[in-house]
A = this chain, B = another copy of it.
Amino acid sequence: MEVETCLRKMGLVLPEPPEPVGHYQAFVRAGNLVFISGQLPLINGALTHRGQVGSDLTLDEGYDAARTCALNVLAQIKKALGGFQRLRAIVRLDGYINAATGFSDLSRVLDGASDLFAQTLRERAGHSRTVAAHSGLPLNAAVEVVAIVEVE
């Protein structure tokens, strides 16, 4: 099943890929790898999840924030590759969590991104992953998700 068909069945729509919030590119290709810039939970230019997970936001809200970041990763992949046909795999995913002191359930937050990839990309979803808490993120976003993908 197509990625966007999967999303529709989940009640989700691929957003417009956000423009960079600084002097850089949204993605850069080198050989068969595409490096995608850090994606925030932005929909139509507005942050959907702001503040720290574990104080301002619950774990479930953090999970949703990570899922929205992952939607933007998918939107950037579509723009970079002209669709999903030539995507071979998500190779690496880094999750930066804006988290309250003492909140260490970081992996469950980032599963919001990983689960979306599993549900839409299936066997092409399998990625290595890192996650850590940060004392702040751009625009005070709750989550930032970074990806490296491989192209056929």
Report which A residues bind B (CB closer than 8 A): 20-28, 30-33, 35-38, 88-89, 91-94, 96-97, 99, 101-104, 106-108, 110-111, 114-115, 118, 126-140, 144, 146, 148, 150
Please tell me if the beta carbons of B133 and A135 are within 8 angstroms of each other in the complex. yes
Pair B37/A130 contact, Cβ less than 8 Å: yes
CB neighbours of A131 from chain B (8 A): 22, 38, 138
Counting from the closest, the 8 A-B pairs by CB-CB distance are A133-B136, A38-B130, A24-B129, A22-B107, A23-B114, A35-B128, A104-B140, A37-B128
CB distance from A104 to the nearest CB of B (A): 4
A27 and B106 CA atoms in complex are apart in Å by 19
Judging by beta carbons under 8 Å apart, are A133 and B130 in contact?
Answer: no
A132 touches B137 (CB 8 A): yes
Q: Residues of B contacting A37 with CB < 8 Å?
A: 128-130
Q: Are A22 and B114 in contact (CB under 8 A)?
A: yes
**Chain B residues whose C-beta falls within 8 Å of the C-beta of A32 in the assembled complex:** 30-31
Q: Is the CB of B23 within 8 A of A115?
A: yes
Residues A35 and B148 in contact, CB atoms below 8 Å apart: yes
Closest Cβ of chain B to A19, distance in Å, is 12
Least CB separation from A115: chain B residue: B23
